[in-house]
Every structure is written in structure tokens, then in C-alpha cells.
Chain A
Amino acid sequence: MIQERIFPTFLKKVTPGPKLWLALGLILSLILVKNTYYAISVMILSIVVIVLEKQFGLFKVILVAMTVLFISMYALHGCIAPNIDKVNDPVMFTIFGIRYYASGFAWATKFYLRVGPMMPSLFVIFLSIDTADLSVLMCKAGIPYNAVFTFIDSFQVITLLNKDMDQIRDAQRSRGLQTEGSLLTRMKAIVPIIVPVVASAIVKVQDQAIAMDTKGFNAKCKKTVYREFSPYKADPYFKWAGIALSVFSVGYKALVSLNVIPAFLTNML
């Protein structure tokens, strides 16, 4: 959600409300309707959208996390998943004497295809939402202003402290702090970097609290919202797609749980 509005790409033009509906629909559908083809399609489509939105540079960190998770889950679950029956289950292959079971592979797929597609799809949706727009949306939804401020400010403060941390690390290195070398050397570098980060944040708290109060932060009257969203032609499609996905997913899961319909869509291998 911390991004610069330099290029008004398609997703950035869509107002935040419909995007959040779509995000909800994706979350519910991926968790409740466990369909391999749907999950893989979401993952591929999300990555395509990320490339089109020119966010692949930022996405690389998420991609590394997805890859590490993929390797960890598939490598280990195939051998030690709790659903493995080591006597009866078919073995996909054996390597260095360790057996890799098909049921373990299915177990890994069940969980990875829930989380894996969610990461790129929600990443690109949330990255396209401006924090100021989000705060307006939350206020209009009736969430108390103090809570909205606290939530949104978290994103802002992360960026500010990150910049401070870079400056502080450089300042300490300029006084001879070693940040490379043995594990012990690097561990010793934590305190000289983190103490000024925390202290410089807390030093500002008292002044910031007074400044906020003098600008009416604690005023009991209703807050005025100056920012209005410009509706975009794609808004209704996002919104109704999200609502449809959400209703379908919840309804499908309820009916399957109650044995009213068989699980005809669920096919996690």
C-alpha cells in the first residue's frame, strides 16, 4: 500500500472499495473452494497483472518467499505429512533412501494452493490502494477515526523508520561499527543500530502527541472528509465479481458441509 502514483495504471484507477470486495472474494474462494485449476489460474493471472502494473521489481521479494515456502512444503510434506500411510500409500519416488509419497504431495498441494495464489493476487490489489483512500473508505464504513489513524499510520511509520535505519546504520559504520564478518560481530551490530531507531521514534512521540492534539485529533465532533473518489468504469465489475465469489464460496462450503451437495468443485489432487 506504500507506493507512488506516477503511472495511473488500470488497477490504480479502480476505487478501493471494489478492489477490497474482489480481495475478499479471492480469499474466500481460495480457502473454501479447494480447486487446483482455479488456484493455479489465479496465481498465473495475478503474476501477469503484476507485470502489466509494472510492479515486478517489488514483487520479487514476495516471489522469493513463495518459492521458499513451495520448496519447504513440497520437499518435507511429501515425506512427513500427517496423512501419509507409510504402509499402503503409493510412493512417487525414493531418493537417498527417503520415500516421497503421493499423499504427502497432495497434502502439500492442499495447503500451498491456498496460500500461494493469495500472495501475488492480494499483493497487487493492496499495492494499488492508496493509504489515504483506504483511510477515507474505513472512516466512511463507520470505523472510529482513531482506529483508522492507528492502522494507516503503521504503513507510514514503517517507511519513515526504514529511512532512519539506513541513516543510523551508515552513521554507526562511520564510527567503526563492523556489520560484516563473524556471526558474533554481526550480532553485536544489532544494538548500536536498533537503539537509535527506537529512541529517535520515541523522542518524537511526546511532541507528535501535542501537535496532533492541537490539530484536533481528540475532538469529539464528526470528522469531515475532503477526499472523494472518482468512480471508474471497471468499479462495478470488480465489486460484483468480489461479491459473487464471496457468496458462492460461502454458500458452496456450507452446502458441502451439510452434505446437501457433493464436493464437485474440490479436487486438490
Chain B
Amino acid sequence: MAMNSVDTSKGRLRGTYIAIMIPIGVAINYIGGLIASSLGLPIYLDSIGTVVVAAIMGPWVGAISGALFNVVSALIGGNIPSALFAICNIGSGLIVGFMAQKGLFKTWWHVVIASILVALWNAATGAPIAMVVYGGIDGNVGTNLMIATMQSIGRDLGSAAFIARIPTNLLDKGIACVIAWIVLMKLPENMKSLNGAKKAA
């Protein structure tokens, strides 16, 4: 029996699939960050799991996986207020999940559009969250230097925090979306979509 003819993700096993895939998304986000730091890269790569799960299981499961990652990271690091950044990851999951559901996560152009939307969402929501949690300046050295530069030319902290996050998110989330798309490309057909919806790729 070919695996891709059995859509065991529907019906009563779907709940089990969700219960398994959400933690996998959380773990892939975490491992992505570890891979980036072990390779000495100046990016986080902590959204790959959210994007992969959203593309395979749908937007809401991806969003929950992304949010749970931020909650788990906050618990592990003890930095509870940082769990608010779950709002950023929820948006990332919803954007990619809905695009994938409509068959819009297949080509390079789709990935570029997804990256831009995800980056803008993360910048728009990350800036006010950083203001609430850290007063504007967090531990991200690259972003902080850009904020300082923009402040020195007259921008206020709020708008500087937003504008500074656009390029850093375009780079980080963009690379994460590209990598997630490549991962999905390399998966066999029966693993690419477990939600019975249109295949991600």
C-alpha cells in the first residue's frame, strides 16, 4: 500500500498527527537556531519549523507550533516576557500556511513573497513587543546598531526599532522561508502534505 494513497491525517488520526507535528515544529525551530550558531552564522533560523509545519499541516497548526516555540524558549531561558514574541511566529505560521493551502508556496516567487510578508509582519509586531519587553533595545546586536544609527539621524526609538527590524527579518526570516521551502522540495510526496489540502509543493 503506497503511503501517499492513505491520507491518515484526516479523521481520528489527525489529532494524533497534530500532537506529534507541533512539537516537531518547536524542535526544528530550536535546532535551526543551534545549527546557525554552531556554524557561526549571524542569523537565528528559528522559524524553519513553523514554516515547515504550516506548509504540511495547515496555517493554524503552524501558528500554534510557532507560538509554542516562543513559550518553550521563554521557559527554558527564564525570560517569560519574551513569550510575547509568539505573536510574530503566529503570524509567520498563518501567512505561510494560508499561502501553502492555496498552492502559493511552490515556486521561487512564492517564497520571495512569503519572505517579504513574514519579514514585514515580524518587523511590525516585533518592534512594539521589544518596546514593551525591553524598552526598545534587546540582545540582538545587529538590530541594535541599526536602531542606534537611525536614532542618531533623528528617528524616534519606536520607528527606528521597526525600520531596523525590516532588513534583519528579511534576511533571517527570508533565509528560513527559503530553507523550509528547499526542505519541502526534498521531501517525498507522501510527507509534504498531511492535511488533505492541496499539496505544498
Contacts and interface: CB of A to CB of B under 8 A. Distances in A.
A and B in contact, CB less than 8 Å = yes
Interface of A: 1, 27, 31, 62, 65, 68-69, 72-73, 76-77, 79-82, 107-108, 110-111, 114-115, 118-123, 126, 146, 149-151, 153-158, 160-162, 165, 169, 179, 183, 186-187, 189-191, 193-195, 197-199, 201-203, 205-206, 208-210, 212-213, 217-218
B138 A195 contact: no
Nearest to B28: A198
B81 A191 contact: no
Interface in B80-135: 80-82, 133-135
Contacts, number: 202
Contact of A82 (B15, B69, B158): B158
A161 to B, nearest CB: 4
Given A154-B27, A202-B191, A65 B77 contact: yes
Given A186-B41, A209-B20, A202 B79 contact: no
Given A31-B81, A205-B20, A209-B13, A115 B133 contact: yes
16 contacts: A73-B134, A73-B135, A76-B148, A81-B157, A82-B157, A115-B134, A118-B79, A119-B77, A122-B80, A150-B22, A150-B68, A161-B31, A189-B39, A205-B17, A217-B16, A217-B19
Interface of B: 3, 8, 12-13, 15-24, 26-28, 30-32, 34-36, 38-41, 45, 48, 52, 56, 68-69, 72, 75-82, 133-141, 144, 147-148, 151-152, 156-158, 160, 179, 182-183, 186-187, 191, 194
B12 to A, nearest CB: 6
Contacts of A111: 133-135
Q: Is the interface of B mostly helix, strand, loop or mixed?
A: helix
Contact of A68 (B34, B52, B79, B139): B139
Contacts of A72: 137-141, 144
Given A205-B21, A206-B3, A115 B81 contact: yes
Q: Which 6 A-B pairs have the closest CB atoms?
A: A122-B78, A111-B135, A123-B78, A119-B78, A157-B27, A153-B23
A161 B24 CA distance: 9
A123 B77 CA distance: 6
Contacts of A186: 39-41
A158 B78 contact: no
Contacts of B139: 65, 68-69, 72
Contacts of B152: 80
A165 B39 CA distance: 13
A199 B183 CA distance: 8
Nearest to B82: A115
A250 B121 CA distance: 33
Contacts of B12: 213, 218
